Amino acid sequence: MRKDKELAIKMRRDGLSYRQIRAKLKIPTSTLSGWFKDMDWSKTLKDRLAKASSESGTVRLNELNKIRGERLRRAYQAAAEEAREEFEILKYNPAFIAGIMLYWGEGDKLSGQNVKLTNTDPEMIKLFVFFLTQVLGVPKSRVRGHILLYPDLDDWLSRAYWVKASGLSREHFTKSTVIQGKHKTRRLSFGICMITVSSAYLKVKILEWLKLMPLELMNKGYYENMVPSADS
């Protein structure tokens, strides 16, 4: 085994992230991923790395708005690199997979600043909030809910419904918007709920995961690594 690979594996077992190992050894993330994919990392190590990635990501969420110009471009590049690194930790997490596929189907992909999903299904909204707060580590204080109402719906009752469904508090919901429906009789009982996190950094990461997850799901090796071998 080449010496830099041995050293990289030791550093990984000691709890260093892909980013830290890459910075010290000048080895590309893709190479590190190939070296580490068959390693039997302990759950404790995975949990620690996931927590560290989540915490560092939260700091970056708060700092990104202060960055402009060339620094902003570098920040987005760092976000994409961080997303690829975290993907290796999260790609077997069922809640992460569900959240990414949910966003692929229902989330906003066009705006550069907002991570946003709009739907009428309360379970879908609840799952998306869980994905943001419990899987990605986004503080609840950064999550916002917004309700689109038809003119004949009660705002207070609709808000109470979506507060309960989402697991957020009333303070997380902004002022509702009244809309005109296209159908006079086929109306939704509590309107439409929109969940948003304003973060260009997180948006870059999610878009990167949207590229990686479908490819991984269509890769036979992904499932071979997921299922324990007969000897384990």
Q: How is the chain split into domains, by residue range?
A: 1-41, 44-227
Block residue for tokens 């999903």:
117
d(CA 130, CA 116) in angstroms, rounded, equals: 14
Looking at residue 206, its pLDDT comes to: 96
| 173 DSSP assignment | B
Query: pLDDT value at position 148?
Result: 94
Q: Tokens 């939704």 label which residue?
A: 188
Predicted pLDDT at 63: 59
Please give the Cα distance from 156 to 219 (Å, whole number). 48
How high is the pLDDT of residue 232?
41
How would you class 108 by CB atoms within 10 Å of its CB: exposed for 0-12, middle for 13-18, buried for 19 or more? middle
Q: What pTM did the predictor assign?
A: 0.69
Counting as low any pLDDT under 70, the low residues of the chain are 1, 30, 37-72, 181-187, 226-232
- Residue 51: the pLDDT is 57
* Nearest partner of 166 among 185, 199, 203, 191, judged by Cα: 191
How far apart, in whole angstroms, are the C-alpha atoms of residue 72 and residue 51? 25
The reported pLDDT for the residue numbered 53 is: 55
User: In angstroms, rounded to a whole number, what is the distance separating the alpha carbons of residues 184 and 59?
Assistant: 47
